[in-house]
């Protein structure tokens, strides 16, 4: 990898080489990841429901999602006559871009994040806010009542659930005294044993928060098939629909990896190389998300909101305060 | 909240509401139902069910066919508990023509009808949970339903649109192995209930989504003519099998499960308890299954041209959805002069206009699902 980087740097400069490698590796891996996750989701749901799931294309249906992607590529891209064309076309692209940017900010091993930022965590939080704008654009521009409802639900939901995610991330920031993700993953943080409790609470809050942010059941009300048909992507067909799908699964991986970095020690682990450990932890988080999706019914919109505002956010605030108090006690460490 | 129902005659509809046409193609309208929802934000202000998308004129068809020729039509009204509808028609005609039914056929009818009721309720549990966003129970209940369908297929030859009733009995006798297979299915069902309770009933989200939603008082039920599990969930122990006993039902012991809450959760509990009672009936009937002919002597099944005496006849049966009534007017010919069906879903669906306003869109789906409507039975 370093040799290849040096070779490229000779032609297009150091920055150019890093950018090119980053784009190729991240784009390449995330594409494969989506295909894998969709297959995994179908297999997991099948086994939870005592079915076999896809079995025909490839061994145990492993190439099923490749076939599905090819089918979606071949489909006609329909644009509703009454849609706001420019916004309608822009939304699927915009929903996908922030996730890619976030992926480049997550450190995959000791010294390697493609964009190593001193304020990495803050940039990530800022970027993930863009996704919801794209979803609302999709819902609004479709000029479809179901899509508008889905879009509005999505905005309300993401605003509500970003707060507990941010507050629980702040707990870690307080403890590690850094917003750089590499420093966070490296920092020792169980020195006063009291710190274990707030971090565990923060982890649960973070997990619930990202489940809602990625629109996964039981918080999947923006698409709520049985109520809103397809929610914000009702009017999207073919590859544009696939991009929303792509974004959802990429988001799951990226937020899972961020959770692994914040709470599970990132790339640290015995025997295996760093990137493998990071991915294993991220996929572990995703597995739990899938398990939840196929077990629980969906919450109602108002229940979802009161769950966030009346329970998650107060708990997150108290948790943050508790961490600060523990850290402020003289002789507690730092 | 106050209800302002914008009518079509009103030239200026209120600006803070909008109309959403839910269906006829929509994942949770259970067939081809269209709901004209008037919404304020996400809250339902008024609802108008639009029906008739699968109208096939069953009542008109009845006027142009002999009594036996109409048999296949019956199970195509309610495709989920078709056997009950099929047997109801047979019993109505037997009443008209004064045909005696052998003991064995009477008991066998009860067994088959109760199995059919369970399969219908099982499908409802799965479909209702899918409406609420949980897809997994669907597969579990279908697994059990499959066992029942397989069992019924061995007797009736069909899995969905049964046509096994004959004037004076059944088309085929239960074979010697049937009781053993039936008991196997019953054992499987009984083993599954604790799982359903753990997976569905004790789930916090399920309770939150269903408790206190779509409440109906006894008075409201009476006004709309609501019957079946929906009425029993409101607290009225009204069941045709007890109120106007027919067939072999009077000789079996069973309870009419009721609840007093009248909400969506109560309807779920009533249906679950009803399945348990059906199993109770089946077990008693299997024990009491007499030997003998399955078809009355002298009855040639469908071949004989029946000419019931002139008059107006009424007969009723308890289907999985509620009270099913049949009125037949005969002029003494081989075909009915007029046949009218009182189907339970039709009245239950109408009550939606009272249940839905004030709820959120998500609850609207739950309320509709809790009624267990079958559209072909409403449209006929």
Last residue of a domain, one of A51, A74, A97: A74
> pLDDT band at A110, cuts 50/70/90?
low
The per-residue pLDDT for A322 is 84
- Pair of tokens at residue B366: 């739950």
DSSP code for A193: G
Q: Cα distance from A36 to chain B (closest Cα, Å)?
A: 22
The per-residue pLDDT for A276 is 83
Last residue of a domain, one of A47, A74, A101: A74
Q: Cα distance from A88 to chain B (closest Cα, Å)?
A: 22
Note whether A39 and A144 are same-domain residues. no
- With beta carbons less than 8 A apart as the criterion, state whether B28 and B368 touch: yes
Please check the confidence at residue B290 and state whether its pLDDT lies above 50. Answer: yes
- Write out pLDDT tens, residues A83-95: 788 888 888 888 8
A141, part of any domain: yes
Note whether A187 and A304 are same-domain residues. yes
Please check the confidence at residue B352 and state whether its pLDDT lies above 50. Answer: yes
Note whether A268 and A236 are same-domain residues. yes
The per-residue pLDDT for A331 is 59
Note whether A242 and A310 are same-domain residues. yes
The per-residue pLDDT for A189 is 65
Euclidean distance between CA atoms B87 and B113, whole angstroms: 8
- Write out pLDDT tens, residues B232-273: 988 888 888 888 888 888 888 888 888 888 888 999 989 989
Note whether A95 and A199 are same-domain residues. yes
Least reliable range by pLDDT among A247-251, A272-276, A283-287:
A272-276
DSSP code for B329: E
> pLDDT band at B2, cuts 50/70/90?
very low
Q: Are A300 and B363 a contacting pair at CB < 8 A?
A: yes
Q: Cα distance from B136 to chain A (closest Cα, Å)?
A: 6
Q: Which of B132, B136, B364 sits opposite A298 (nearest CB)?
A: B132
B341, part of any domain: yes
The per-residue pLDDT for B253 is 86
A334, part of any domain: no
- Write out pLDDT tens, residues A21-45: 777 888 888 888 888 888 888 888 8
| Contacting residues of B for A149, CB less than 8 Å apart | 42, 361
**Mean pLDDT, to the nearest integer, of B52-60?**
87
- With beta carbons less than 8 A apart as the criterion, state whether A151 and A222 touch: yes
Between A3 and A59, name the one with better pLDDT.
A59
| Contacting residues of A for B128, CB less than 8 Å apart | none
| Contacting residues of A for B136, CB less than 8 Å apart | 45, 48-49, 294-295
Residue A152 structural domain = 82-328
Q: Which residue of A has its CA nearest to B129?
A: A297
Euclidean distance between CA atoms A56 and A112, whole angstroms: 39
| ipTM reported for the complex surpasses 0.85 | no
Note whether A89 and A66 are same-domain residues. no
Note whether A278 and A161 are same-domain residues. yes
**Mean pLDDT, to the nearest integer, of B290-301?**
74
B13, part of any domain: no
| Contacting residues of A for B28, CB less than 8 Å apart | 226-227
B362, part of any domain: yes
CA B281-B284-B285 angle, 5° bins: 80
- Would you tell me how many other CB atoms lie within 10 Å of the CB of residue A136? 22
Residues making up chain B, counted from first to last: 380
Query: Which residues touch A152 (CB under 8 Å, ≥6 apart)?
Result: A136, A139
> pLDDT band at B301, cuts 50/70/90?
low
Please check the confidence at residue A148 and state whether its pLDDT lies above 80. Answer: yes
**Mean pLDDT, to the nearest integer, of B54-78?**
87
Residue B201 structural domain = 59-367
Helix H or strand E encompassing A167: helix A145-176
A28, part of any domain: yes
B311, part of any domain: yes
Please check the confidence at residue B1 and state whether its pLDDT lies above 60. Answer: no
> pLDDT band at A184, cuts 50/70/90?
confident
Interface of B with A (CB under 8 A): 18, 20, 26-28, 42, 129-136, 138-140, 143, 199, 203, 205-206, 208-209, 360-365
pTM higher than 0.90 for the full model? no
The per-residue pLDDT for A57 is 83
Question: Does residue B87 come out as left (phi exceeding 0), alpha (psi in the -120 to 50 range) or beta?
Answer: alpha
Note whether A21 and A131 are same-domain residues. no
B34, part of any domain: no
Q: Which residue of B has its CA nearest to A292?
A: B134
A11, part of any domain: yes
Note whether A211 and A239 are same-domain residues. yes
- Write out pLDDT tens, residues A278-313: 888 888 888 888 888 888 888 888 888 888 888 889
Please check the confidence at residue B72 and state whether its pLDDT lies above 60. Answer: yes
Alpha carbon of residue B274 to chain centroid: 12
The owner of tokens 């309208």 is B29
Note whether A24 and A154 are same-domain residues. no
CATH assignment of the domain containing B156: 1.10.645.10
Q: Are B363 and A301 a contacting pair at CB < 8 A?
A: no
Please check the confidence at residue A242 and state whether its pLDDT lies above 50. Answer: yes
Query: Which residues touch A233 (CB under 8 Å, ≥6 apart)?
Result: A138, A147, A150, A223, A241, A244
Euclidean distance between CA atoms A240 and A26, whole angstroms: 20
Note whether A191 and A46 are same-domain residues. no
What is B132-150 written as a DSSP string?
A: TT--HHHHHHHHHHHHHHH
- Write out pLDDT tens, residues B98-119: 888 888 888 999 999 999 999 9
The per-residue pLDDT for A142 is 84
Between A217 and A162, name the one with better pLDDT.
A162
A214, part of any domain: yes
Q: Are A297 and B132 a contacting pair at CB < 8 A?
A: yes
Last residue of a domain, one of A74, A95, A126: A74
> pLDDT band at B11, cuts 50/70/90?
low
Whole-Å CA distances, A43 to A55, B137, B138, B309: 9, 17, 17, 62
B363, part of any domain: yes
B348, part of any domain: yes
How many structural domains does chain B have? 1
**Mean pLDDT, to the nearest integer, of B82-90?**
89
Pairing mode, if any, of strands B323-330 and B338-342?
A: antiparallel
How many structural domains does chain A have? 2
The per-residue pLDDT for A243 is 84
What is the overall mean pLDDT for chain B?
85
Note whether A32 and A88 are same-domain residues. no
B99, part of any domain: yes
A178, part of any domain: yes
- Residue A53 forms contact with B (CB below 8 Å): no
The per-residue pLDDT for B49 is 87
The per-residue pLDDT for B118 is 92
- Would you tell me how many other CB atoms lie within 10 Å of the CB of residue A191? 12
Task: Report helix, strand or coil for B170.
Answer: strand
A300, part of any domain: yes
The owner of tokens 């929903």 is A95
Whole-Å CA distances, A202 to A168, A220, A263, A312, A317: 5, 22, 9, 10, 10
């Amino acid at each position: 990898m370093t040799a290849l980087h040096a070779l490229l740097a000779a032609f297009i400069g150091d920055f150019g080489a890093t950018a090119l490698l980053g784009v190729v590796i991240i784009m390449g891996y995330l594409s494969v990841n989506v295909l894998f996750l969709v297959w995994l989701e179908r297999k997991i749901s099948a086994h939870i429901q005592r079915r076999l799931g896809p079995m025909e294309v490839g061994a145990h249906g492993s190439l099923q999602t490749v076939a599905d992607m090819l089918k979606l590529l071949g489909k006609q891209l329909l644009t509703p006559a009454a849609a706001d064309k420019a916004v309608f076309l822009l939304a699927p692209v915009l929903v996908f871009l922030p996730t890619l940017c976030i992926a480049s900010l997550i450190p995959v091993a000791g010294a390697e994040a493609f964009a190593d930022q001193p304020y990495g965590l803050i940039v990530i939080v800022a970027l993930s806010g863009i996704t919801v704008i794209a979803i609302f654009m999709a819902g609004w521009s479709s000029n479809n009542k179901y899509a508008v409802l889905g879009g509005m639900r999505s905005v309300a939901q993401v605003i509500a659930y970003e707060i507990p995610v941010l507050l629980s991330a702040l707990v870690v920031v307080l403890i590690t005294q850094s917003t750089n993700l590499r420093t966070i993953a490296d920092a020792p943080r169980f020195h006063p044993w009291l710190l274990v409790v707030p971090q565990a609470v923060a982890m649960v809050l973070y997990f619930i928060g990202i489940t809602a942010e990625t629109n996964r059941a039981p918080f999947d009300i923006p698409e709520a098939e049985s109520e809103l048909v397809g929610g914000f992507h009702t009017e999207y067909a073919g590859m544009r629909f696939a991009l929303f799908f792509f974004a959802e699964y990429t988001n799951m991986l990226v937020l899972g990896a961020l959770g692994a970095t914040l709470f599970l020690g990132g790339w640290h682990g015995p025997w295996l190389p760093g990137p493998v450990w990071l991915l294993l932890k991220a996929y572990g988080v995703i597995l739990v998300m899938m398990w939840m999706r196929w077990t629980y019914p969906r919450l109602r919109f108002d229940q979802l909101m009161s769950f966030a505002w009346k329970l998650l956010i107060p708990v997150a605030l108290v948790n943050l305060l508790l961490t600060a108090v523990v850290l402020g006690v003289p002789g507690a460490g730092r | 909240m106050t209800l302002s129902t914008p009518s079509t005659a009103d030239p200026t509809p209120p600006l803070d509401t909008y109309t959403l046409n839910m269906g006829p193609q929509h994942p949770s309208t259970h067939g081809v139902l269209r709901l004209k929802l008037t919404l304020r934000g996400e809250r339902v202000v008024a609802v108008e069910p639009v029906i008739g998308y699968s109208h096939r004129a069953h009542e008109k068809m009845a006027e142009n066919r002999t009594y036996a020729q109409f048999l296949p039509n019956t199970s195509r009204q309610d495709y989920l508990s078709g056997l009950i509808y099929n047997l109801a028609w047979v019993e109505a005609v037997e009443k008209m023509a004064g045909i005696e039914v052998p003991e064995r056929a009477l008991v066998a009818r009860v067994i088959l009808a109760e199995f059919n009721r369970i399969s219908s309720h099982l499908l409802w549990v799965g479909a209702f949970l899918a409406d609420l966003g949980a897809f997994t129970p669907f597969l579990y209940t279908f697994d059990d339903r499959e066992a029942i369908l397989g069992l019924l297929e061995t007797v009736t030859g069909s899995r969905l649109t049964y046509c096994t009733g004959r004037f004076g009995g059944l088309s085929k006798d239960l074979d010697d192995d049937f009781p053993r297979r039936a008991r196997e299915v019953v054992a499987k069902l009984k083993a599954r209930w604790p799982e359903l309770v753990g997976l569905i009933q004790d789930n916090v989200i399920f309770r939150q989504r269903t408790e206190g939603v779509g409440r109906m008082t006894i008075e409201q039920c009476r006004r709309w003519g609501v019957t079946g599990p929906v009425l029993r969930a409101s607290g009225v122990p009204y069941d045709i099998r007890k109120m106007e006993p027919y067939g072999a039902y009077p000789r079996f012991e069973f309870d009419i499960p009721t609840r007093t809450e009248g909400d969506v959760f109560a309807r779920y509990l009533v249906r679950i308890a009803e399945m348990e009672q059906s199993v109770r009936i089946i077990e008693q009937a299997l024990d009491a299954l007499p030997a003998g002919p399955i078809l009355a002597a002298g009855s040639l099944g469908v071949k004989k041209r029946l000419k019931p005496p002139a008059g107006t006849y009424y007969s009723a049966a308890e289907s999985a959805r509620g009270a099913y009534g049949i009125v037949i007017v005969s002029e003494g010919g081989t075909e009915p002069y007029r046949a009218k069906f009182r189907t339970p879903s039709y009245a239950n669906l109408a009550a939606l206009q009272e249940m839905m306003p004030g709820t959120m869109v998500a609850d609207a789906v739950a309320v509709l699902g809790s009624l267990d409507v079958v559209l072909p039975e409403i449209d006929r």
